[in-house]
Structure 1
Amino acid sequence: MNRSNDEIETQDWLEAELADTLDEDYELELSEPALSEEIRKIYRKNHPPSIPRIDYFRSLLKLQSELIKLQDWVVHHKEKVVVIFEGRDSAGKGGVIKRITQRLNPRVVRVVALPAPSDREKTQWYFQRYVPHLPAGGEIVLFDRSWYNRSGVERVMGFATEDQVEQFFDDVPEFERMLVRSGIRLVKYWFSITDEEQQMRFLVRIHDPLKQWKLSPMDLQSRVRWEGYTKAKEETFARTNIPEAPWHIVEGNDKKRARLNCIDHLLRQIRYEDVPHEEISLPERVFNPDYERKVLPPELYVPSKY
């Protein structure tokens, strides 16, 4: 079967993007420190062979091209989308968010990762500090952790009282129904990893100077309180898994599969379609015969060190 010019151009684009992405991946691999042999043994034991790298990137790029179509559809129809990413520390939330936003317009797709609440915010209605970040028409907002901090880290670490947690469980289903009634498409993901996998990822971060910034005292405490987080997660699912905004669990031990499965699932949650685009053509450069480009002083230039 003969391929159309559009199909050939798309394939050429994918090949070019694949080459760039592989370069980025190789760069990240070079940054990994030489882990101890003992850690390597644990890693190999807990990580059977994943998707071959070339197949992973081909699939990722195709999914990212679909995300661009979704983005265009959201803008064209003034849709509002909220995606919540929850899960244990080091479960892979940031990795999938990075792959979702990698090729999208930051004016359309925003990531919200709020710090700990200020003293003033602690006196507000609990949901108040999240509301300003909700999308307007034509926007997608990705919450890297969300109002579910109350039933998770705040509860486990003792930053919220049992009465506050109970009030949260009473309020959050109706809060989310309000969002849906207002026209927001709300999708909730929980990234799930095993106890052994989290320990492995923390060890890697401890031994990697480029990743140590990802470890906070809270993260280290999450290892101590693993069972507490498990109980909190189970009650959160039981009391906030509503038909209007159900939870979707992503198995995260294999990072590559987790990213592909999550993005593929997200795309299936919204019935988007191609939208019309104006044809773009590059205008002719205007040349002014009287214009002479000035020579700038050399000290303005960044040194050509490489």
Structure 2
Amino acid sequence: MDVKTRAARPVSYFPVSPVMLFPEAFGDFAVYLWQGGDFVLYTKAGQKFTLRHRQVLHRNDVQEVYVQGSEKLQYEQYIEKHLGKILQDETLPIAVRSKIFYEASTVVMQDVFDRKLPSALRARHFNRITDIVKNSIKFLASDNSLSSVAPFISHDYKTYTHCMHVFICSVALFHVYDMTPGEVFECSLGALLHDVGKTKIPHSILNKRGSLTQGEREIIKEHPVHGVSMCAHLPLTQNSVNCILFHHEKLDGTGYPAGLKADNIPLPVRIITMVDVYDALTSTRPYAEAMDPYEALTLMRHSMRDGLDMSVFKRFVAVLSGADMI
């Protein structure tokens, strides 16, 4: 709720569900209640939020508490720290957990893509990304999770949300195949980072309306190599590196950067490529309107079949259908 119109105290607040405040956990933000037409302090920043605090809110049927806008960063860090606990808490409705997962993950990815990063991906950001993957794989593999996350997926293309969407759907597809937990983690990490190299591509090219020149297309094609270079100092396995480097390869050998063909392209990469193409087609981009899911899948099935793995395509359609996303 925004109270900026009050001249005496121009402070903004945003609502938070009480279930997001964990007993015995500390938060570096104050919690307020809306009472009598004003915001009233409930717990101070740095104060332990106890079980009694939560019980009082429950007894009084308090559905929302509030945090000051100036402490939004502290609240986001708190949620990020407790994300694993949130996602595995089956007493929380799956829609609530899905919303928290999507919002917390998007904050991390936006930090990675929007900040002025050096040529290498900072270890601190990498650790946050790794935590997102570790904390969400099990959740995304559970029944109904994909359909519960789907309503939060935006169709307004941004590179960081695109990476999130590719990660979410790829994890669901990985679990259809006979992959070990270690392989799922490594490839999921690669899926989330697959377009990180686009941070090195000028915005004037990424956001250009209309057709790219041949020179601009060649610059775009450099992003997989940029991505691997940015991650060179990080403890990535070959599975993760493959996903970043080869996600634009095509089965007929017309892809880039290496022109790999058929079985030379690892299966997890073929999965990520499938999801990558689908999300791009169903999102509004600067140079094209979003297609509806059926239209995009029809185009992939008929016009892109030489470059995409059609056996993966069939399983992808089944996963989307099972999540009511078509």
Scaled to the shorter chain, the TM-score interval is under 0.3
Relative contact order higher in (CA < 8 Å, ≥ 6 apart): 1
Instruction: Name the TM-score, length of structure 1 as normaliser.
Output: 0.27
Structure showing greater Rg: 1
